[in-house]
Homo-oligomer: A and B are copies of this chain.
């Protein structure tokens, strides 16, 4: 695969953009939502079903895969795409965020992080160089630089020190990644909710030079207002001709607000995790299928949705199988949620291309305000 990964902007509407990331493994339509396949599977879904929802790219987790089944084993088995039966693009995170949030007994140094596995307590080390090696072994198409994401609450001084460490790690990631045609390396902007730190971080990343740029350190509990506050300026610090990726976002209204502010890519476990806990997302907001009011309801989750859950099953059925603890509950609700998220992205892309994003966003909020099901 010697073809370069390229990003082509097709249209803008205000700060919002739509375009295409072209990779040897297929095109990624932006703005793009990436379902999360933590441990080599998007939970409760077969990969052909994930594709059927409209997903162009999945996210895989370096932290989980390095521990089990290990990156070396996946490489011996032909790489992550073949292993999990997903031949389209995969973006892998660097492991940095999850080491911070999931691993125990972690110890930071300039070199990297040592930590104990949450699975068996075994000792591991992640450095920028090791993260690049793991992501290469996995065969990731879009590789993320290794960074630190400080836990909140943090003082501005702590956020600044952490961001500067991440920028030194970004340079080491760039050096270790080398030149790999057909594979892209993205840098990650940090700096919390402080504009000057965001600007400093962006400047450092721009000086190093990446194929794309992530906005990191958001969606970690700061709230939507603070997040949108940062997104009001941070994407503008990044080069226009590179994809901008907002990590770990989010709810449908977070996604819409982020796209309005110039974000091109997002990922979140929300649609799949919600699906397994009986939460559905529709054009009309959130539906808690556990609620007894669905027990006798012959209507689908959403009359206008074409996913298998809405085409063939009543709310009464979905309520029943959730209560009965049946796997089909998680399977159908996850499928619905991923379908809805992808449909939302398609709507955003079309609205931007047509120059009618403001109208789309107005309708999006108006329908949610009406309640979770159409009046009979």
Contact = CB atoms under 8 A, between A and B. Distances in A.
Interface of A: 39-41, 43-46, 68-69, 73, 76-78, 83-85, 295-296, 298, 308, 312-314, 316-317, 320-321, 323-324, 326-328, 330-332
B73 A316 contact: yes
B313 A77 contact: no
A92 to B, nearest CB: 16
Contact of A317 (B44, B83, B298): B83
Nearest to A43: B327
Contacts of A44: 327-328, 331
A78 B298 contact: yes
A223 to B, nearest CB: 32
A323 B39 CA distance: 11
Given A46-B331, A331-B331, A73 B324 contact: no
B68 A317 contact: no
B40 A83 contact: no
Contacts of A40: 317, 320-321, 324, 326
B316 A77 contact: yes
Contact of A330 (B73, B312, B316, B327): B327
A252 B76 CA distance: 35
25 contacts: A39-B320, A39-B321, A40-B317, A40-B320, A40-B321, A40-B324, A40-B326, A41-B327, A41-B328, A44-B328, A46-B308, A46-B328, A46-B331, A46-B332, A69-B295, A69-B316, A73-B316, A77-B314, A77-B317, A78-B298, A83-B316, A85-B312, A85-B317, A327-B327, A327-B330
Q: Considering residues A43, A46, A308, which has the most beta carbons from chain B within 10 angstroms of its beta carbon? A: A46
A324 B326 CA distance: 19
A165 B277 CA distance: 46
Majority SS at the chain A contact face? loop
A317 B73 CA distance: 10
Given A41-B321, A68-B324, A69-B295, 17 more contacts: A39-B320, A39-B324, A39-B326, A40-B321, A41-B327, A41-B328, A43-B327, A69-B316, A73-B316, A77-B316, A77-B317, A78-B298, A83-B316, A327-B327, A327-B330, A327-B331, A331-B331
Contacts of A45: 328
Nearest to A64: B324
Nearest to A49: B46
Nearest to A65: B320
Contact of A84 (B68, B308, B317): B317
Contacts of A324: 39-40, 68
A317 B76 CA distance: 12
B314 A83 contact: yes
Contacts of A43: 326-328
A326 B47 CA distance: 13
A48 B328 CA distance: 12
B326 A85 contact: no
Q: Considering residues A40, A78, A327, which has the most beta carbons from chain B within 10 angstroms of its beta carbon? A: A327
Contacts of A317: 40, 77, 83-85
Contacts of A83: 314, 316-317, 320
Given A85-B312, A314-B83, A320-B68, A77 B327 contact: no
A313 B332 CA distance: 22
